[in-house]
A and B are shown apart, each in its own frame.
Chain A
């Protein structure tokens, strides 16, 4: 789109056929519905040169016409009136839905893809007003902007729109400041990526107790109203305020992700943690209330405790099992957090992170051959961006670091019924003040 619109070069874009609806939609909302697009079969990844030559010689699976004929026509055929017609479609958002019965409204919300398909609480004016009473912010104040993927346009949303989605999720009004802070991150919990990511939200500070969030036994399970509904609200507001999350159109996660039901939302167990709280690490005061957002949650590794003889090897094995494109965040039960001090002498989270950074390694040849490293890190290395450019100079057998130090994190959560702990593969996005949204 950039080459065509900003640089004036006639362009054809080639895509795989699974992305038909999404790429046509992206072109339209970017004001270029006439963009010339040609399709080949899915997948391209992993196919041999001979197989891909067959794609070139073959037909567009959507039109049945020759791929190369479409490419050449796309560059040479003059545009007709259909291609050049004005871009006009109604994108306004009414404040209210048309009055209807409760049953019909539930059906409307479900059929419009405004829910996570579980029953919702209908956002009546009374319920939304009760929600809004728990923030000093004005209902029409803009909270932020969000989009499901890089190529789509940002949508905008107000305090009232966030409150509507909070009601739908079943959240209590006193949770609203946390939900507004989540919306203010601008980080979507409904990313469109084919990799089926989910988000994770960690709450710190006094708000945890004020709204009775759980940081102990079962904190990441469905046993606490605040944890459950705040996380659900984060998902609903993401899909509705960014312009949708519809499979094949604005959501392309191939397998999907159950974490997305409530975005792994919990409070850190600051009281039982031997270390400083996560938000303090990010520059906030212990008395501040915050929420921190991580995205890209897909993989977890777990084990029980740290064995005296081989704990180092066990942790290294867990790290080696991760895709090196997505860094580790350790979710430690307080028992295991103290074990890391007893076994390794890590008296701060920072010293533990130093050790993880230095011990997560793999041979350079294996590292560079990961598909996601090829897609996202190798191009940056060849562009001269560090630390990847230096890694590119390593010999094939050299053990190179898998992650950047600043991307590794540690959060303490759990009720000490045992020392189970896990590593979540995810990317830290930001920490936002809850207090500013009270």
Chain B
């Protein structure tokens, strides 16, 4: 075979699943008077970070109620109990910190 002869080879890549769009939740008009859950994914020192964010809200936006909420177990496990609580008692969530 010459150096300029063309070869046909197989593609080594697997088959990706189809991506389907997921709807994003409607945004709030304002955070004033609302409850924002600060969700600690319990990874490294994310709890320390979110408590500082909680302090920021208290200082700069006292009309916002914040709830510091660690997930029930590790981030590798779904946590429907916590998600239900946030939906029932909260208006918005900040999740962190993904490293």
Contact = CB atoms under 8 A, between A and B. Distances in A.
Q: SS class of chain A's interface: helix, strand, loop or mixed?
A: mixed
Interface in A140-172: 146, 150, 153-158, 160-161, 164-165, 168
Interface residues of B, number: 69
A125 interface: yes
A379 B73 contact: yes
Q: SS class of chain B's interface: helix, strand, loop or mixed?
A: loop
Given A46-B45, A124-B9, A10 B26 contact: yes
A89 B25 contact: no
B10 A128 contact: yes
Given A31-B20, A87-B19, A101-B7, A8 B13 contact: no
Contacts, number: 262
What interface size band does chain A fall in? 35 or more
Nearest to B76: A150
Interface in A3-42: 3-16, 18-19, 23, 28-32, 34-35, 40, 42
Interface in B23-37: 23-31, 36-37
A157 B24 CA distance: 31
Interface string B1-21: 101111111111111111111
Nearest to A100: B6
A298 B76 CA distance: 21
Interface string A265-309: 000000000000000000000000000000000000000000000
A385 to B, nearest CB: 7
Contact of B14 (A8, A100, A242): A242
B43 to A, nearest CB: 6
A98 B66 CA distance: 56
Interface of B: 1, 3-31, 36-37, 39, 42-46, 48-49, 51-53, 55-56, 60-61, 70-76, 78, 83-84, 86-87, 90-99
Interface of A: 1-16, 18-19, 23, 28-32, 34-35, 40, 42-49, 52-53, 55-57, 68, 71-72, 75-79, 83-84, 86-87, 89, 91, 93-97, 99-103, 105, 109, 114, 122-125, 128, 146, 150, 153-158, 160-161, 164-165, 168, 194, 236, 240-243, 371, 375-376, 378-380, 382-383, 385
Given A47-B49, A371-B44, 7 more contacts: A10-B26, A42-B99, A68-B53, A75-B94, A97-B8, A103-B3, A375-B44
